[in-house]
Structure 1
């Protein structure tokens, strides 16, 4: 399902101009990975795989699905939270708990947060890196690790530094497998793109909230935009329709033929 969130964008507005020249430098692993083509026709299929519309060049699918033949495929993994129905697959102590021992839950999606603090980060990463191995085996070219911003829902238990440290474990492993890795949302941390090792960005609702330019400042045109409203799509297309990959999907990211299915482009 979709993971769209309104981002604060406050930090991203600070010192962007000064950082732009530096952050547009390629990551160390760029030579070993293949980035998605820029300004490409894109489809977001994390709610269920289906035959891509004509002309589509890039597709994102859930890690449990097979890649689309002949296209650039991005493998979606929920890297910071537990997918519904998968809680029993995790060691109990790797689920984030508050001071009273209660699970910390992303209430929007009913997903427990993973505890990526200290030594637990390596244990969580080991499991997620196993998923990344599966994506590589299936033939995916890139990884989209979702919920980088889980610290915002952690009741102040997880810091941004801990989120970056953990994501770097995933990025390093993805690069070993010759997979590119995206920054998903979390524009406030885009300034750390190079140190974490992130190759491109997947931005939900950056048109809706006037944040697409901030992603471009750090990732150049290596930005994939997903909007969920006509307004967001119109804004994204108006400002970046000639340079970025942009698609509008329905919030449930449903499949064609089902109620509510939406897919629009610039």
Structure 2
């Protein structure tokens, strides 16, 4: 008597299992940086901070990745000796073997905003990266903020997504110092873009490497900082297959006929 309802229940469990299984691959490690930099590889001046150093007054309210362009030397405005350096590690070079381009998997010179004429110079920068698997339809997202003392040149922040296939490298601009027009409370030297949301939907499945980076453009004595929170991969919710719908329909139809015969 209870065979058909049992089949329907089992089918519902099957559908739920299929959909839950599709979410299991969303595997970005430590995307909220609550475990520091665990799960991430870094280059240059990179730190995971749960609060701002008192001397900088950065707008940080929870665990945050901070990437900077400040060297440990005395060449960074407005204060000397790496005032805006957040990690104690020196900023990394750009445009040379073993530099930032190599770290993010890009050809030397390809991160320049004008790679043909090179009317300006990228000097130094920092980055963080992580590899993970994606399915078609998955969406990568995170929040970011670019802070800068650069009033004359456009220090820039960007995302590099490497699919590890021929022509599978994407360099996506986040923003530049020209967009940092909002005041930072407690720090009269810095301006900020304010919190922004980045979103990217993958069209093919595979293993990708995500790199987050910030770079000095033209003026190495000016400092910019990229902050990132809540890096997440949201799995596409698949539509149940036609076969599963058919199975549900047959089971429900059988139950209806059984009740009419009873």
**TM-score tier after normalising by the smaller chain length:** under 0.3
TM-score scaled by length of structure 2: 0.22
Between Structure 1 and Structure 2, whose CA radius of gyration is higher?
2
Larger relative helix fraction: 1
Larger relative strand fraction: 2
TM-score scaled by length of structure 1: 0.22
